[in-house]
Every structure is written in structure tokens, then in C-alpha cells.
Structure 1
Amino acid sequence: MTQEFRHGPLVPQVEERLRELLRQERWPVGARLPNEVRLAAELGVGRSSVREAVRLLAREGLLDVRHGAGTFVAERPAEPVEVMLRRARLLEVYEVRRALEVEAARLAARRVRPEDAEALTERLRRRQELLGGTPGEFVDADLEFHREVVELSGNAVLLGLFDSVRPLLREALVDAVVHEPDLPDVSCAHADLLAALHRGDADAAIAATERNLADVMRMISEKVAEQ
């Protein structure tokens, strides 16, 4: 089961791998997971990374940590609870995106060069080509576009933060595309962001980024309130 992980923080990647194994029913409901030492060895990571990943999955109700007894695969929550947890997690992901991407858009508008804008245009073209296609491919293209904006900010800390949470972003966004068929189409906001960066208009870049994120957050918030 040992695998190579990408460069960057391990906890989100370990969490993603354990979540995948749970989906594949590597351990059936009620089964006890290997202890922390063994699981860390099987995954090829440190015990602290496993411990934190297990804590996150337990918070979602996927694992049941019984002190003194071990960690067990929990009963799958009833559908309404599962939907609520997924939507709550999506809102958290979008809050993180807003904190990172709004500032990145502001900085990128001030620092973008003509050749940078051309590369960003290609990223957006690829995103639009995959709109309505395979969820994973579309989300990857979307995140590549937004990562390009963050990179154009010229702020290495912002870029590092974006890369560190990208596995979590991807998982939450793929789930959203699969399970929320009425997600708003934010293509116009993406086009407006690109146009603002071409012009070097920081205020317009901020507005377009906020609109892109706010439309989805509003829809999910309304659904959470209805549950």
C-alpha cells in the first residue's frame, strides 16, 4: 500500500488516501484499522501525519476513534447527514479560497506581464473546453487557472499556501461537481477576472474573484440553511 506522495504538506494527501481506501472498502464497516505505527509504515509517512488525518476523518464521522481500543470504520451516516457534512466542508474550502485568491488577484493585476496574460488565457480556454465533461479533469483545469493567478501574484507564501491546500480543494470541488448539479456557472466571472488582469485593474480583479466564489457560497449556504 506504500505510495509516493507529492511534494508539499502530507496531511491532506494522507487524508485523501485514507478516504479513498475507505471508499474502496479496504476495511469494512466496524473493522479496526491497523494501529498508528503500522498504518504509518504501510503508507510510508510519519505517525503524526497519520494521526492528524485520522482526526480529520473522525470529525466527519467516517472513523470512530475509541481511546484504548483503536480506530474503527464508522457506520456510514444517513444521507441527509452526509450531504450536510459535505456542504459544510465545501463552505470551509471556499472560505479558504476567498482568503487566498482575492489577495492574489489584487497582486497579480499589479504585476502581470503581457506574456503572463497569454498563458493565463490558455489556462482559461482549457477550463472552458472541459466544462460539463469529466468532473476530475474539469476541476484540475479550473485549479490550474486559479493557481496561475496565485503564481502571478509574485507572492511565494500565497503560492505555497495554495499548493498545500490544493488536494483538499480538488476533492471538495469534484464532490461538488458530482453531487450539486445546480452549481452556478461562473464562467463569466472567470472571463471578467482574465480581462481585469489584462488591463491591470486590481479593483476589477478583486470584484471578479469575489463574484466567482460568492455565487457558489451563497447557493451552498442557502441549501445548508434549508436542511
Structure 2
Amino acid sequence: MNIGLFGYGKMGRMLEKIGQDRGHTIVAKIDDDTEAIDYDGMDVAIDFSTPNAAFNNITHCFKNRVPVVSGTTGWLRDYEKALQICNAEKGAFIYASNFSLGVNIFFELNRQLAQMMSGLEQYTASLEEIHHIHKLDAPSGTAITLAEGVLEHHPKKDWSLDGKEKGKLPIYAKRDGEVPGTHSVNYTSKEDSITIQHVAHGREGFALGAIVAAEWILGKQGVFSMKDVLNLSN
């Protein structure tokens, strides 16, 4: 499979290594917003670029019949517009806030647990995420996705960073050393506590999941998610 990489920072270099280890060829490494791109040799594009470049990268691929896997955050105000272009061009697209295979299984466990806990008002729900000190945004996109999964079955309808707003689901964000990412969902009552947790041991899992998604989307048409890649839709 011939892969075009949009964004060639740390994640791009990791995608290159894992892609090559799995027998794929990197035919393009694009690290700026440019029109001078040869799409003809690409079987699939993986976008981990910047918020300013992502929409153009993704939609230009659609217009050139190249399926896209994207993990770029910060551009989602244009997400629906991108989907319209994807469908109009009969393209293929997967976006995920986190491509880790384990995290996406964790998302589904979280939704199932939230449904089970929905009628048990004696339990108070909260989330915690821990990341390395270099991470500037808080809470993480993964924590927000987890919160959305809880809120689907919870009387509270929004989340709050570090519990600063009463009446909202609290997400506590911590920054510690070089922690790749730890996410916990907690339900606490006077009698006991229930916690589910995902711990990343490194960042390679994010890149591996994106490569697996790129392998899966080849030859398909439509808009998909990691639930489809992992056959969790049912």
C-alpha cells in the first residue's frame, strides 16, 4: 500500500516507521500547505497535520479519489463541510480523536458501563486524565470523547474542567512527567467505587491504530469510524 503522510512531525515519523514495518511504502511526506502534491501514486492518505492545513489536505484528497484517515484536532468546525465534500466525491474518510486500538475498545466499554449505571443515582460520575507536561490542551480529546459517552446516559448534560462548574460532569486533568496518557472513568457512592481505566505505555499505539485504519479503508466508500474498523458497530 502506498501511503501519503500529511504532517511529518513526531507522529508522522512514527507512522512512517510502523507503516514500513508492516510492508507499506511512504510515497509522500507533506509538512506544509502546498498544492504541489502527486496524488496519483497514493493509495491512502494519513493526516496528522495542523488545524489550519487539515481541511484543505483532507478535501483535496477526496477530490483526487484518495481515501483519508485523519487524527488532526482543532479543525472540526469544518467537519460537516468535509463530510459533504467526501460524499459528493464518493470518497472515503475516517476521523478519530484517538486511533489507539485499546482506547477505542475502552470507548465502547465506557458507553456500556454508562448505560448500566444510568439508573443508579447514588453513584457520582467523574473522569480523570493524566498526560505529559508538554501537552498544552486540557482536557484531552480522548477525555472529552469519554465524557460524551457518559453523558449519553447521564442526567448531567455537559462536562466541566476540574469540576469548576457545579452541575456538570467533572473531568480532572493532570500533567506529570512524560506520561503518554492515562484515562479513568469513576463511579463513586458511599458504599463503593467502580473504575475503568486505560493506560498507554507509549505513543506507538496511536500510530499503529492509524495504519490499521488506513489498511481497512482501502477500497471502501463512505464515512466511517474506528468502531467500523474494529467491528464494534453492533
TM-score (norm 1): 0.27
Higher percent of residues as strand: 2
Higher percent of residues as helix: 1
TM-score (norm 2): 0.26
